[in-house]
């Protein structure tokens, strides 16, 4: 019988208020794809953690004979698409062209995009858990659909990031 995981804690994100007179300089732009990965890589970890909490949990404990084949375990989320790497290189080049003010504006927008992405993923996961609580036979299909939807949400967020970079460079 799979171990029941605690529900993820809801964390309210509050942006710190910084005085206008002393803005903090933005971090320097990444110099390689490996350096750019930490900029958005934590979102993949967030997706994986959220996906791991979505599973059918029976309301009454049953005796198990050791093997429970009904639970789905997802391994790491691997994207073999070379276009993601190309887009990351293009994003890195665009980031290197931003001045300090543009970089600060970009980081503010990036935080907004990330918050919206996290909220959307959590909403999808809550709905999936609610559906699974009613019918455990839907587990595989719903988890696969949830994974696909989260990937779509991630791609949309990255498109918004790219569009924001383009807008900043055009200004």
Average pLDDT over residues 66-71: 47
Asked whether residue 85 carries a pLDDT value surpassing 60, the answer given is yes
pLDDT, residue 69, reads 46
With respect to residue 144, please indicate whether it lies within any of the assigned structural domains: yes
pLDDT, residue 83, reads 81
Asked whether residue 63 carries a pLDDT value surpassing 60, the answer given is no
Domain of 166 in residue numbering reads as 40-50+82-170
With respect to residue 33, please indicate whether it lies within any of the assigned structural domains: no
With respect to residue 93, please indicate whether it lies within any of the assigned structural domains: yes
Average pLDDT over residues 47-52: 80
pLDDT, residue 151, reads 93
With respect to residue 27, please indicate whether it lies within any of the assigned structural domains: no
Q: Could you give the maximum distance between any two Cα atoms of the chain, in Å?
A: 66
With respect to residue 111, please indicate whether it lies within any of the assigned structural domains: yes
Asked whether residue 13 carries a pLDDT value surpassing 60, the answer given is no
With respect to residue 89, please indicate whether it lies within any of the assigned structural domains: yes
Q: d(Cα 143, Cα 53) in Å, to the nearest integer?
A: 10
How many domains are there within the chain? Answer: 1
Model pTM score: 0.57
On the 0-12 / 13-18 / 19+ scale of CB atoms within 10 A, 19 is exposed
With respect to residue 94, please indicate whether it lies within any of the assigned structural domains: yes
With respect to residue 145, please indicate whether it lies within any of the assigned structural domains: yes
pLDDT, residue 18, reads 44
């Amino acid at each position: 019988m799979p171990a029941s995981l605690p529900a993820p804690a809801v964390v309210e994100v509050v942006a710190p208020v910084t005085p206008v007179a002393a803005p903090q300089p933005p971090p320097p732009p990444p110099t390689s794809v490996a350096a750019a990965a930490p900029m958005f890589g934590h979102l993949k970890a967030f997706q994986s953690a959220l996906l791991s909490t979505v599973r059918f949990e029976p309301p009454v404990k049953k005796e198990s004979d050791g093997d429970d084949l009904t639970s789905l375990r997802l391994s790491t989320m691997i994207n073999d698409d070379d276009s993601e790497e190309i887009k990351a290189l293009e994003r890195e080049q665009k980031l290197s062209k931003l001045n300090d003010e543009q970089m600060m504006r970009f980081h503010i927008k990036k935080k907004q995009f990330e918050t919206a992405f996290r909220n959307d993923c959590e909403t999808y996961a809550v709905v999936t858990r609610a559906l699974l609580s009613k019918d455990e036979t839907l587990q595989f299909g719903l988890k696969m659909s949830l994974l696909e939807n989260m990937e779509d949400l991630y791609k949309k967020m990255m498109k918004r990031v790219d569009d924001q970079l383009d807008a900043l460079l055009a200004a």
